[in-house]
Structures are given as C-alpha cells and as structure tokens.
Structure 1
C-alpha cells in the first residue's frame, strides 16, 4: 500500500501571477499531481528583502537571474546594466513586484524559476 500525503502541501509555495500563462500552467501541473500548493500572488502581496534573498539563495541564483525584463521597466530603470548591483535590483523588485520573473516554486527539494512549467517536476 502506498501512502500519499493527505494534508495540505503547505511546504510547497508557488509565487504566482494569474495573468501569466506559464504561471497558470505550472499551478495546473502541481494540481494535476495531486498537490495543492500555497499560492502567493506576489504582484498583490509584494516582496520583502528577506523573501527575495532567501529565495535566490535557495535557488542558487542572483537577483539578476530572476529579473523580468519583458513587460517591465527594468531597462528604463537601468536594472539590466551589468554594473547594477543585486542589492539595487532587489530594492527595485520590492518597489515594483512585477520585476520578478515567474513562476517561482519552492519545495523541500529546492526552488526554481519554472519557465517552462515542466521544470517544476524536478522539485517534486
């Protein structure tokens, strides 16, 4: 007899933007696997420095690696300039949450920017 988790999967978090097709597909993929993650609509909820620093550390990336350029003011703000520090990028992400690329999923196995959506499977 195999045992499946019957409790809510609070240890799985998706930083989600419902306006994003990849984010919706990633959430659907998790649900298709029988998982109900904690859904954080980060555009509404916003970010803290601590959240972003913890996520990038868990992901093993820099803030620049999760910076969303398309459809944002990243270029106008100078955030794509190689001399811009991670600290400045994080400060901008806190001021304008849409600057964080999505979806990011965090599980006990790690965290990743799930573009494409199937990357989430490696975290399960």
Structure 2
C-alpha cells in the first residue's frame, strides 16, 4: 500500500495534471475516485483540517448543485456543509493529496510539488500547454 493518496476525479484536468506530476516523480500511489468512493464525513473533515482549510474553502461551486442547495448561505455550519458534501461528493473540491509531508488541496496542480517526497524525474507540461517542470526536472517558476 502506498503512503501517498490522491482523491481524484478523472474528468478534472487539474486532478489529472496532479496525478501525472506525482507519477512523474516515479511514485506509485493510491488513487481514490472520490465520486465513486467518497471519504467518510470524519475522513473528509480530517483532510480539510490537515490541509489548513475551512470546510467552506473545500467546497466546489462550479459544476455542482452548490447554489441549488443554498450553500452560499453563510449561516450554514461546518456540520451542515460536510453533510451536503457527503450527500453530493461532487461538492468536494479536488484533488486532495495526502503524503508523509502533508495534505494539500492541489489547485493549481503544481501545489503537489511542495509535499512530494521525491523529485521530478523529467520534464512535465500540463494539459493546457503550461510547462511546469523543465528538461532537468526542475520547477519552472
């Protein structure tokens, strides 16, 4: 079992880029397609807390029932927001990555580089054409 896990949505370009950056470091990992296998409420709350986010910061609005569910109501509690995320896993922003060096919501995808225990092994260009890692395996920015 790998000590690195990604909560992944294969339909999301940011999630695919993050997964590919992890693999570009030669790391085998556990991939959890959270829409098929959502984390428990406790695990989700733990991911959010360990990433240093609020529950509201971990909510995804675009392409979700966020507005229809009234989740823009700032009076809602964290417990209510977590309940909505459990009922509608698409509300969970992605991708969350867990490594021995920490937990991050990797938006943008290159945020994963801060928590990878191994260096990149070669160049990497995101799906949109942005070069992130040069031919020497070094971060471009």
CA separation in 2, counterparts of 1:33 and 1:106? Answer: 15
**Which residues of structure 1 form unaligned runs of 5+?**
1-7
d(CA) in 2 for partners of 1:29 and 1:55?
20
Query: 1:17 corresponds to which residue?
Result: 9
Quote the RMSD (CA, aligned, Å).
Answer: 1.0
Q: Partners of 2:21 and 2:8 in 1: how far apart?
A: 13
Residue 47 of structure 1: how far off its partner (Å):
2.6
Alignment partner, residue 31 of structure 2: 39
1:106 aligns with 2:122: no
Q: Of Structure 1 and Structure 2, which has the larger fraction of its residues in helix? A: 1
Structure 2 unaligned regions, length at least 5: 117-141
How many pairs were matched up? 116
Corresponding residue of 2:62:
70
- The 5 Å alignment of 1:56-95 reads 56-95=48-87
TM-score by length of 1: 0.89
Runs of 4+ with >4 A deviation: none
Q: Secondary structure at the match of 1:44?
A: coil
**Residue 29 of structure 1 aligns to a residue in which SS?**
helix
Superposition TM-score, scaled by structure 2 size? 0.79
The CA distance in 2 between the partners of 1:116 and 1:21, in whole Å, is 10
Greater CA drift, 44-53 or 22-31? 44-53
The residue aligned with 1:3 is none
